[in-house]
Amino acid sequence: MRRSGLFILLMGALGVGCAPDAPTWSDARLEQLRLPEGWEISVWADSVQNARSLTLASDDVVFVGTRQAGLVHALRDADGDGTAEEQYLIAEGLNMPNGVAFRHGSLYVAEVSRILRYDDILNRLSDPPEPIVIVDDLPTDRHHGWKYMAFGPDGMLYVPVGAPCNVCDREDPYASILRMQPDGSAREIFASGVRNTVGFTWHPDTGEMWFTDNGRDNMGDDIPPCELNHAPVAGLDFGFPHIHGMDVPDPEFGEGYDPSGFTLPAQPLGPHVAPLGLEFVGEPAADGSRRLWIAEHGSWNRSEKIGYRVTQVTVDADGQAHSYEPVIEGWLQGEESWGRPVDLEPLPDGSLLLSDDQGNRIYRIQPVD
């Protein structure tokens, strides 16, 4: 693992050499995106290799994990102009460091089998410290081994362990969401029957967890659905590998299992859309409902591609999900994609960041005054 400092400055150089009125490559691409009325999108950071999970550390610093590149980036909008002009390399050579989280001055990074902590990181962007290993005994399987990670409102660190297969029945801690103290102690299973979650968040009013789950493959184009799930308490079983979606029994592991014995999805999502990061957006409506945005990475083995978009689910004041619909589309043009949404991260000014691991960039989505 190499430690190095600032390695990219002056982002946004794509426009150099263009005629004054000619659109840059980014401008032309962004014009293909369809957003809801009252929102606009721009490129916040470009050339961010394999940008995946995001975590906000301060008003101007965001950390970015990767899955394939083995890197952890730090991005900084030092002048507050709405674009990150500074990029730092925090670590390289890691094993699928997808998940990143920040707490009390320290950056936490989730590899496949380890969780690392980088202390005093905001003061060490140019000279990152050696990490402290707080967990080193998670499963080593790379199949669904990359991890999302976040601190909950209870101060606990939540980390999933995906199923090491398309579908199989394996012992704990596989197909679960773990939680633990920040030092790795007091580890326990928070939720089970979770095939592969790569995103969770907590309701701003109730503090209850909501998470996405990627449905199994090889049952056809249209089944089973991917899932948006609601975990108001610990100890719930969400059905994998026995039941998929609301009522789809697994051909191999579903016999004898009743869907009513499990916690069913709060909202079935599109089949094979690969939902990842999600965030509650904006203030509640007059009736207390909230908008939940979901980054759909997109299908990889469907005969006609689906996903490659951001969708919205409305969660009412009683915690019921309604109205699953697209809010940002255009990364998929026919059967060709030029971007794959991964994670959402709100900023203090009311805008959101959205990572794209195909386009190697991070967008800023903001309401228009």
**Res 29: pLDDT:** 87
* pLDDT, tens digit, 9 for 90 and up, residues 31-89: 999 999 999 999 999 999 999 999 999 889 999 999 999 999 999 999 999 999 999 99
pLDDT score, position 28? 82
- Considering all CA atoms of the chain, what is the largest pairwise distance in Å, rounded to the nearest integer? 67
Contact 73, 87 (CB under 8 A): yes
Position 25 confidence tier, pLDDT thresholds 50, 70, 90? low
Listing DSSP states for 160-208 in one string gives EE--SSSS----TTSSEEEEE-TTS-S-EEEEES-S----EEE-TTT--
Phi, psi of 102 (to 5 degrees): -130, 135
Compute how many other C-beta atoms are within 10 angstroms of the C-beta atom of residue 261.
Answer: 10
Task: Kindly provide the b/e burial profile for residues 102-126, where b requires at least 16 CB atoms within 10 angstroms of the residue's own CB.
Answer: beeebbbbbbbbbbbbbeebbebbe
Average of per-residue pLDDT across 296-318: 97
Q: Taking 80 as the threshold, does the pLDDT of residue 212 lie above it?
A: yes
When the pLDDT of each residue in the chain is averaged and rounded to a whole number, the result is 93
Mind listing the pLDDT tens digit for each residue in 117-158? 999 999 999 999 999 999 999 999 999 999 999 999 999 999
Check whether 17 has a pLDDT greater than 70: no
User: Which of 29, 18, 1 lies closest to 356 in space, CA to CA?
Assistant: 29
Can you tell me the distance from the alpha carbon of 306 to that of 272, in angstroms, rounded to the nearest whole number? Answer: 7
Query: Exposed, middle or buried by CB within 10 Å (0-12, 13-18, 19+), for 50?
Result: buried
Per-residue pLDDT tens over the stretch 227-283: 999 999 999 999 999 999 999 999 999 999 999 999 999 999 999 999 999 999 999
What's the burial of 146, exposed, middle or buried (CB within 10 Å: 0-12/13-18/19+)?
A: buried
Question: In whole angstroms, what is the distance from residue 36 CA to residue 212 CA?
Answer: 22
Buried b (16+ CB within 10 A) or exposed e, 202-224: bbeeeebbbbbbbbbeebeeeeb
pLDDT of residue 13: 31
* CA–CA distance, 169 with 242 (Å, rounded to integer): 9
**176/312 Cα distance (integer angstroms):** 25
Are 102 and 119 in contact by the 8 Å Cβ rule? The answer is no
User: Would you give the DSSP letter of residue 256?
Assistant: T
Which pLDDT belongs to residue 369? 76
Domain regions of the chain by residue span: 38-367
Whether the pLDDT of residue 21 is over 50: the answer is no
CB proximity list for 168: less than 8 A, separation 6 or greater: 241
For 331-349, the pLDDT digits (tens) are 999 999 999 999 999 999 9
Q: What per-residue confidence (pLDDT) applies to 26? A: 66
What residues pair up with 367 in beta bridges, in sequence order? 39
Q: Which of the four pLDDT bands, split at 50, 70 and 90, describes residue 191?
A: very high
Question: How confident is residue 3, by pLDDT bands cut at 50, 70 and 90?
Answer: very low
Q: What is the pLDDT of residue 74?
A: 98
Give 41-90 as a DSSP string: EEEEE---TT---EEE-SSSEEEEE-SSS--EEEEE-TT-SSS--EEEEE
> Per CATH, which fold does 38-367 belong to?
Neuraminidase (2.120.10)
Q: How far apart are the first and last CA of the chain?
A: 45
Q: Which residue bears the tokens 């390289």?
A: 92
pLDDT at res. 24: 55
